[in-house]
A and B are shown apart, each in its own frame.
Chain A
Amino acid sequence: MKTGFHSLLLSPALLLLASTFAVSVQAQEVERGDVLIQHATVLTVTNGTLNDTDILVQDGKIARIGQGLRAPNGVETLDATGMYVMPGIIDAHSHIAISNVNESTSPVTAHVSVGDVLDPYDIALYRALAGGVTISHVMHGSANVIGGQNETIKHRYGVKDPALLPMDGAPRTIKFALGENPTRVHGRGSNIVPASRMGVEFVIRQAFSEAQRYQEAWDRYEARRQNDARAIPPEYNERLEVIAAILKGEILINCHSYRADEILMLLDVLRDFGVERITFQHVNEGFKIAPELAAFGAGASVFADWWAYKFEVYYSTAYNAAILTRNGVVTSINSDSQELDRHLYHEAAKTQKYGDLSDDEALALITINPARQLGIADRVGSIEMGKDADLAIFNAHPLSVYAVAQKTIVDGVVRFDVQADPDDMRLEVDPETPVETAFLWEGHDDRCMEGTDLLGFFTGQ
């Protein structure tokens, strides 16, 4: 059905629906497209704003940026006069498109990975596209001190094979969580360590120490094996193997955290074990220790204005992102919500109200900064030649509340088109539930604690 050469004349939605009902014959390859976008106001984020500029996309990459470009044979042109093109938005904290969020049965579950349970059918992928999002860092929940591994995925909505969602080459990442969530789930819920922030630190130190010993045992075995044919390997333990990889710098830590003191605690622990990179998530009190975060080189991925839903976020300020930015911390704004991820451009714009960030500074919070935090800044996050063609086209400046996304492009393929897409964009239909069943909005839907009610206690938010 789909070939490497994607034609924009055919509504992607019709192709999608055709593929729903035909036997899918797609190649096990990521689809890449070509297009020439003309006469747009290009918000490059890293190189200022270019007026009346064209972008040529070839084979899913930004091939050229300039004025008066011509389309090679067979490449569709898109007239973007009066429109704004920005880099595809990157949501650094999300729980969409995964079948499980929390394996909340133990405080340390480094061996599980949400990448094993990706769900390309999730309509949230499409709705985020409709708000300009092209990449989501989908994460394990925050029930455990050391949670599972996350996955950086591209919103290639329309594919049904989960293997086609991950962004190839994106570094591995893992979820940590400090504070009220793990102490509530494990301490108060199961009566096992941690029940306090003291316990949280201990769990991390213990896990790191055990992983070091595990690595040492395997290193000794590898050495011995050279000379001894009868050497038996040590017991295999995937959990410790993953943590050992963290210590070697092969997996990036993303830590759910709120209070200033617990953030400082983790920085100390990382220094003790020689881990140099970390991005804190939510980090509502990050503003209190912005200088320390900047000195370590830690990143911060924050909400625009969520606060007061738990005690550890009671002393928050919506100026968090601005304070962190002004103090030199690489800051991003994330959604942690399948409602918010539809308007991250608006969330970023709030920093102009709460802290007077400039247009480029505000846009950086949802483009190049999360890209840097995720280790993919060489590929995405700004409009530069050679980068992936992940682009969002709006009918007004995206920092305006009135901006409406027109098209969203992933790897050069139009995955959202406000004109051409039909209303019903589902990839699968439940054959048995009555069609008029309404699922009501219950407010503040962060899935960070989803699945913890397995252990049978009040989860709160």
Chain B
Amino acid sequence: MLLTVLMWMPSGAQAQLSEDVPQVTRTYALEHARVVQAPGRVLERATVIVRDGLIAAIGPNVSIPFDAERIAADSLVIYAGFIDGLSHAGIPEPEQPRNQPRPDDPGNPPDEEAGIQPERDVRTLLDPKEKSLATLRNAGFTVAHVVPYGQMLPGTGAVILLAGDDPKALVLKGDASLFAQFTGARRMYPATDMAVMSKLRQLYREAGRRQLMETRYAEDPTGLERPEYDPAHYALFPVLDGEKPVYFHTENALDLHRALDLRQRLGFPLVLTGLSQSFDAVDALKQADVPLLLTLDLPEAPQTPREGQDDAAETDSTETPPTMGPTDEAEELPQAQPPDYNPDLRTRSFEDAEAEKKNLEARQEMTREQYFASAATLHDAGLRFGFTTLDAKPEDVMKNLRKMVEHGLPEDAALAALTTTPAEILGLSASLGTVEPGKMANLVVASGPIFEEDTKVRYVFIDGQKYEPASAPATGRRRPATRN
């Protein structure tokens, strides 16, 4: 009887379950889909069985379990759920304190005020109702490595599922990383980037000394001064031991060089994230040989405030981004031909002013395209990378991904950056990153090939639980995810 009812329901038109309506099964059969198990490994017309949170079976002729909710997926494409290498998803953004009192001694403030909190555990900050979880999920992400907001050392990160009932349920792997960025303290030391670098050196070296003290004292305390516990230094011990990586966020090429300089001097395990403008530092990246996470944020053409007689940048684009939420930004029309840039143009007088303006705009457009082609540049240099949405607006993620593909990033490389590479960087390849039996059932089910313009995300499976992106932005309404 149940089976008949289930089979009777039209496929692809699964209605959203209202609140309080109980879920009846945790088994799903996604039938006759195109399954992209991993970049370059595709199964046509295969069925994926999801059961008890895992991918139970994949194949063209697998038997459908009796309790499966069957979903006809003939025209759909299934990928491994995307993994966000670095994000603040699930963490409420803290309020900016207004009228902060001036510290008594701005040169030597308490660590927490100066943004030095490496011991702060992101797991204590998670909120499963946070909107960003849903927005990322709607873009196809299933797992994210999240870190706290803050200044130079905001805290310790954790890998989480992008859905759960309570904070504990979100966590996949805790104590996963130390997060660092070039964000100075406000109105106290360390305020500038050079001071941040200095502070990091100081912390690291002094932590080494305290670790030595701890070790010696533990071996035999006689005659030795008692080591004092201090959370900031102690939180660095696993980094000193090479066991915990530092995820260092960069926003431009100079940040990148500076983070690498710190690593060279101190020797900590490093993951470089952000990498905006990395096309200017490819050599340094190759030499550095560290895991990389590229930002999914891309620059946009300026909105010229003057009456746009000729501004192509202001015209609305014909392409519609997938339904993540309203987008107001101007889209660039795909250029019929490359911009006409003359590097040797001389602007001698007012007569050349018009030509100069066009030339400058052409160069700026070429620069934007350099950014769009960042991913392709890294790929062509033989560098592997994952992605981070830290600086990006989740609504723009798919649009930007597609732009990167348009500008030379092979689709397989893009998919790897979304799945297998971040899984590897996070040390979770055994359970995540591909669509294979035995792995966690984290899946993206799309209406077509994911990098095509009109493709929409139909379902997202996280830990074997089905989610459907709403056509309106997520309101925070609880998903029907009652589990036993």
Direct contact of A and B (CB under 8 A): yes
A residues adjacent to B (C-beta < 8 A): 13-14, 17, 21, 23-26, 28, 99-100, 102-109, 111-114, 116-117, 119, 121, 148, 160-163, 190, 192, 230, 232-233, 235-238, 422-424, 428-436, 451, 454-456
> Quick one: which of A17, A107, A238 contacts B202, CB cutoff 8 A?
A238
A21 — which chain B residues lie within 8 A by C-beta? 366, 370
In angstroms, Cα B360 to Cα A21, docked, is: 15
| Main SS at interface, chain B | helix
* Beta-carbon contact of A432 and B370 below 8 Å: no
B residues adjacent to A (C-beta < 8 A): 102, 105-108, 185-195, 197-198, 201-202, 205-206, 209, 212-213, 216, 223-225, 253-254, 257-258, 261, 277, 279-284, 287, 299-302, 304-305, 343-347, 356-357, 359-361, 363-364, 366-368, 370-371, 377, 380-381
> Quick one: which of A111, A162, A192, A429 contacts B364, CB cutoff 8 A?
A429
* Beta-carbon contact of A431 and B368 below 8 Å: yes
> Quick one: which of B202, B305, B368 contacts A236, CB cutoff 8 A?
B202
> Quick one: which of B202, B257, B360 contacts A424, CB cutoff 8 A?
B360
* Beta-carbon contact of A113 and B198 below 8 Å: yes
Most buried by A among B106, B190, B360: B106
* Beta-carbon contact of A112 and B216 below 8 Å: no
* Beta-carbon contact of B198 and A112 below 8 Å: yes
* Beta-carbon contact of A103 and B187 below 8 Å: no
Residue of B nearest to A427 (CB): B280
B283 — which chain A residues lie within 8 A by C-beta? 24-26, 28, 161
- Can you name 26 A-B pairs with beta carbons within 8 Å? A13-B343, A13-B344, A24-B281, A103-B192, A109-B189, A109-B195, A116-B197, A116-B198, A117-B192, A117-B254, A160-B280, A161-B281, A161-B283, A161-B284, A162-B258, A163-B257, A235-B206, A236-B202, A236-B205, A422-B345, A423-B356, A424-B360, A431-B364, A433-B302, A436-B360, A454-B186
* Beta-carbon contact of A103 and B258 below 8 Å: no
In angstroms, Cα B195 to Cα A148, docked, is: 9
Most buried by A among B254, B347, B377: B254
Residue of A nearest to B220 (CB): A230
Smallest beta-carbon distance A265→chain B, Å: 23
Smallest beta-carbon distance B1→chain A, Å: 60
* Beta-carbon contact of B206 and A113 below 8 Å: no
Residue of B nearest to A11 (CB): B344
Residue of B nearest to A120 (CB): B254
**Given contacts A161-B281, A238-B198, are A106 and B370 in contact (CB under 8 A)?**
no
B223 — which chain A residues lie within 8 A by C-beta? 230
In angstroms, Cα B343 to Cα A13, docked, is: 9
* Beta-carbon contact of A429 and B345 below 8 Å: no
Smallest beta-carbon distance B287→chain A, Å: 8
* Beta-carbon contact of A422 and B344 below 8 Å: yes
* Beta-carbon contact of A230 and B343 below 8 Å: no
Residue of A nearest to B287 (CB): A28
* Beta-carbon contact of A116 and B280 below 8 Å: no
B281 — which chain A residues lie within 8 A by C-beta? 24, 160-161
Smallest beta-carbon distance B453→chain A, Å: 23
**Given contacts A23-B282, A423-B347, are A105 and B189 in contact (CB under 8 A)?**
yes
B194 — which chain A residues lie within 8 A by C-beta? 99-100, 103, 112-114, 116-117, 148
